[in-house]
Amino acid sequence: MDEALLEAFRATTYHVSIDTVSWATLRVDLPLPVVLADVVGMHSWAFITAWNPQARRRPPAENLAAQRELLAALQAQPGAVVLPAIGVGSSGWSEPSLFAIGPGVATFDRLARAHRQLAYVHGEAAGAALLRMLD
């Protein structure tokens, strides 16, 4: 991944819908906001999407179909909780995303790779939001 794309991932603001009116915002390398840490508890989590694989735009219908597949795969994981989310870049772009709680990093890696993502944000409990690069 080139340096500009890496910087774009780091500069993105990651928003998670906790309920119909409450949102939490996380940033790479910072701990989860308290309100989101309360939701996560001691579980692992990921901020993940199926939109625009390999950081290349594709038609909205294809993105939506892939996102539905990712959502179904996450919801099929035992004990998983999935919240709506959106990533917003510093230049104004945005991608619908999912904030998943429960599955481990191996599951998140597998799903991200299946949807040809270059990276996703993950963490454990209230710890720092880490950018996980995939090959």
Q: What pLDDT score does 107 carry?
A: 97
Q: Radius of gyration of the chain from Cα atoms?
A: 14
Instruction: State the Cα–Cα distance between residues 126 and 31, nearest whole angstrom.
Output: 6
24 has a pLDDT exceeding 90: yes
**pLDDT, tens digit, 9 for 90 and up, residues 34-56:** 999 999 999 999 999 999 999 89
135 has a pLDDT exceeding 90: no
85 has a pLDDT exceeding 80: yes
81-112: b or e for each residue (b if 16 or more CB lie within 10 Å)? bbbebbbbeeeeeebebbbbbbbebebbbebb
3-state secondary structure 13-78: EEEEECCCCCEEEECECCECCHHHHHHHCCCEEEEECCCCHHHCCCCHHHHHHHHHHHHHHHHCCC
Residue 91 banded pLDDT, cuts 50, 70, 90: confident
